[in-house]
Structure 1
Amino acid sequence: MAAAVMDAEGQEKVKVDGENWFLHHPKYTEMMSYGFEDKLQLRIAFLSYLDLCEAKNWWNVEIHPCHKLGMVFISGKQNKKGDLQLVLPISANTPLSNERLHEFTANVRLSDDETEGQNVETEPESESKAHCVVLAVSDSDSTTVYYRISDSLIPPDPPKQTLVQEVSKGKRKKRKAVFVAREPDEPVTDEENWDDEL
């Protein structure tokens, strides 16, 4: 517990030590003011907030309440000019189902006032503009793993194909693999004959 200490003006100050330092952090007290009952989720949200700010160096990181879920989520950008992403911190022991994941993507959203001037991340290839949420799954040892979920199917990136080129160095010829990204419908040309090269 924190010990009460008097400052020079005679006002009571709380002495912060290694065990209770986060209880007096401004962002943790902000989360406590939302009145949510799940203290574990608040603690995990605070640890995820610190991870995004300090370890991952995200920009414009903010904490928001989601009253429909009774949880706290985080918004921020991976880099200065990146899209705004929404992060929902959960415990590794949280039971998940398709319905629960759908509930997360349906309710974890910023209000219109909060998104003004922000580019909230959606998948550009999708015609329906899928809404994405990043789950920050934290274990009891504060290890956090991030998973991106969306409210619809998102087509995968096209597979990378390998070209084998012969590179001559002196008297010997050496084969070198080169990765070439191409559209899935693009045909392989004669000079890229795969069968006899592999």
Structure 2
Amino acid sequence: MKMGCKTRKEAAITSHVFLELCEVKKYWDVEYHFNEILSSMYITAKKTKSSKTLTFIPISSFDGISIEEMKKYLILDQEHKSVHLAIVDSDLTSVYYQITDGIGDPTPESQEESIKDRRMKLDGDLRSNKKILEEAAMYGIPITINKK
């Protein structure tokens, strides 16, 4: 709490992740820090004595987190542009997710391009099977076009 934790809950979750990294996962050089810009606690640790330092962000499974918030956490590791979310549930089950630079919401432009691509593919399939489709329609026969 003296480092800047806003709530006891945040301090407890950070302590749990810290102890899990030390005692259960046996990480090296485990240290906790407070980032004033993000106003949150984070932990750094190494998987082995000689490996690179990893950054862990402890959060509660009940706290919502947006993609924009995840992007902000990436400032904690400028060198690797990668951090680990340590999501802790009320029963102290922890799940770790690695996030890296480049994460983002699908933009409306990319969704529109995807729709156009599917329409073009469907149009191509219809054109290449035009004769079969016409004959089936004339005789009222249902058909299935196999995609190859």
TM-score bracket for the superposition, by shorter chain length: 0.5 to 0.7
1:151 aligns to 2:106 (yes or no): no
Counterpart in 1 of 2:57? 88
* Greater strand share, structure number: 1
Matches of 1:37 and 1:133, distance apart in 2: 21
1:132 aligns to 2:91 (yes or no): no
Matches of 1:39 and 1:70, distance apart in 2: 14
Q: State the TM-score, normalized to the length of structure 1.
A: 0.49
Counterpart in 1 of 2:142? none
Q: Check conservation: 1:42, 1:71, Cα contact below 8 A.
A: no
Q: Check conservation: 1:137, 1:146, Cα contact below 8 A.
A: yes
What's the offset of the Cα at 1:78? Answer: 0.6
Counterpart in 1 of 2:73? 104
* Greater helix share, structure number: 2
Matches of 1:35 and 1:85, distance apart in 2: 21
Structure 1 runs not aligned, ≥5 long: 1-31, 111-119, 123-130, 154-198
Q: State the TM-score, normalized to the length of structure 2.
A: 0.65
Structure showing greater relative contact order (alpha-carbon pairs closer than 8 Å, 6 or more residues apart): 2
Amino acid at match of 1:36: C
> Over the residues paired in the alignment, what is the CA RMSD in angstroms?
1.6
Matches of 2:11 and 2:21, distance apart in 1: 15
Amino acid at match of 2:82: C
1:69 aligns to 2:38 (yes or no): yes
Q: Check conservation: 1:86, 1:134, Cα contact below 8 A.
A: yes
Q: Structure 1 residue runs of 4+, over 3 Å off?
A: none
Counterpart in 2 of 1:47? 16
Q: Percent identity?
A: 32
Structure 2 runs not aligned, ≥5 long: 104-148
